[in-house]
Amino acid sequence: MHARAATSAVAIIAHVSHVTHRAAAPKTSRCYVVTISDTRTEETDRGGEAIVELLSQHDHEVAGKTIVPDDPERVRGALQAGIETPDIDAVIATGGTGITRRDGTYEVVSVLLEKRIDGFGELFRALSYEEIGPAAMMSRACAGLAGGTIIISLPGSENAVRLAMTKLILPELGHMVREARR
């Protein structure tokens, strides 16, 4: 087989595999939403509400939602509660991903992760760069698996949440859940 034909065959197989995986993915998932903030309340939590709204619009179930202060032990406890709840497919957190002294979500999430999805953070920052420029480099958004549950950590900004949800999470959530269950 010529090199060009072999490359084309590999590309077709990769595309078919991706399409097959997506087709076999669950159409709905159960999610737990965690807002991490020292200042947000139920009335002012626009990022958390955007996650709930977008998940619901796409027929995913929000099994729970909580707001915790930017305190490592409280953040760990809230994330662990989602991970340990039976039938939760994904824990989506918003807030605490910056570089200020109080931003500690990344450190907590990175310790919990057993498998990282490095491409998530890379893609999020690339998309964010298109909207806000070089300030995107300060986001420490990340994702991975902990205890068989998908963990996704997003910035606290509503715009950042909507960007990640619409461009990355919602298009692939079922596929991620399928792969995490295998």
What is the SS3 string spanning 119-159?
A: HHHHHHHHHHHHHHHHHHHHCCCEEEEECCEEEEEECCCHH
Helix axes 3-24, 170-181, angle to 10 degrees: 90
pLDDT in tens, 46-62: 999 999 999 999 999 99
For the entire predicted model, the pTM comes to 0.89
Handedness of CA 84, 161, 154, 37 (dihedral sign): negative
Are the CB atoms for 123 and 62 separated by under 8 Å? no
What average pLDDT does the segment 143-165 reach? 97
pLDDT in tens, 102-140: 999 999 999 999 999 999 999 999 999 999 999 999 999
β-partners of residue 31 are: 62, 90
Domains of the chain: 28-181 (3.40.980.10)
pLDDT bracket for residue 13 (50, 70, 90): low
Are the CB atoms for 172 and 128 separated by under 8 Å? no
pLDDT value of position 20? 78
